[in-house]
Structure 1
Amino acid sequence: MQRFQGSLRLVLTTLLLVLLMGLLIYPGLKNVAVYLHSAVTGSYISGTHSLVFLSCPNEQVGKVIARTIVEKKLAACVSILPKVFSIYNWDNEITETTEVLMVLKTRTSKIHKLSEFIRSVHPFEVPEVISILVDQGNPLYLKWIEETVLED
């Protein structure tokens, strides 16, 4: 009987691994696989969350955009860093400006929707929207982001 249970356990474990690998192959089902893996192992999947950098011409514009982003649950939090000095090449001219830098904390799966929204409301012709994957972090903070920024 123990031999049968051991074989059954091996078959079920193999089936679960094959199912998880299959889910990872299909992009639409990747989130399901991530949640299953996280639930089974209790570990954080690197890259599930992202930091997004966004510059704005001033604090007033930044606050309006930040508030709307948080209200729409496209990010859990937006930190606004006042007065960064930027030097860049625009239309073949070296330009120097003072801006604010915003750091948004969100789910990686929301980056596309977030970027579309920013482009629709931002005063710059080409707004900066750059994301960086979160490798690790405070599990309670990352869980808060998940609870705040819901999946579609």
Structure 2
Amino acid sequence: MDKLGSRCPLPGYPRPSVFICLLILIASFLTYPMLKTLSLQLHSTVTGSYVSGTYSIVFVNCPNEQIARDIARAILDKKLAASVNILPKASSLYFWNGEIEEATQILLLIKTKTSKVHMLSSYIRPKTQRACCSQL
């Protein structure tokens, strides 16, 4: 009887195996997004292949072609992107001081890893703000 009593849970408590399974199930649901992201990045790194969500295209407007070329070269020198396309004469319409304005700008299409978008944005933002303000 002692052996049987030691294996049975106390009344009112769930069996340990059910509790452990429930805990594992909850932990799996909570960590799934992180594990999925890590496994996709590992797969992409090991195989060198494209995995959805690992690469991004960033669009940046520049006031003229010289500034666009300077920014593109700097981005590539710092290895913040794999490629930059410069598309001339993009027509832009935007609100400025409550009025609709129209301007011709140069569009950069920057191809980079999604993991580098934040660094790229932090690097470009001050340069484009300075360039745009100097053109006003």
| TM-score normalized with structure 2 length | 0.64
Aligned mates of 2:76, 2:45 — CA distance in 1: 27
Large movers: runs of 4+ above 3 Å: 21-24, 35-44
Aligned mates of 1:91, 1:40 — CA distance in 2: 51
**Which residue does 1:119 correspond to in 2?**
125
Q: Which structure carries more relative contact order (alpha carbon 8 Å, separation 6+)? A: 1
Aligned mates of 1:42, 1:77 — CA distance in 2: 17
Aligned residues: 104
Q: C-alpha offsets along residues 29-87 of structure 1, whole Å, 9 cap, x if unaligned?
A: 94x42233447888642110001111100101100000000000000111000111111
- Whether the aligned pair in 2 keeps the contact of 1:23 and 1:33 (CA below 8 Å) is no
Aligned mates of 2:93, 2:41 — CA distance in 1: 42
1:65 correspondence with 2:71 = yes
Larger radius of gyration: 2
Aligned mates of 2:75, 2:126 — CA distance in 1: 12
- CA root-mean-square deviation: 3.0
- Alignment counterpart, residue 81 of structure 1, candidates 79, 87, 108: 87
- Whether the aligned pair in 1 keeps the contact of 2:41 and 2:54 (CA below 8 Å) is no
**Which residue does 1:110 correspond to in 2?**
116
- Whether the aligned pair in 1 keeps the contact of 2:54 and 2:114 (CA below 8 Å) is yes
- Alignment counterpart, residue 90 of structure 1, candidates 96, 117, 132: 96
Greater CA drift, 114-123 or 55-64: 114-123
**Which residue does 2:34 correspond to in 1?**
25
- Whether the aligned pair in 2 keeps the contact of 1:24 and 1:33 (CA below 8 Å) is no
Percent identity, please.
49
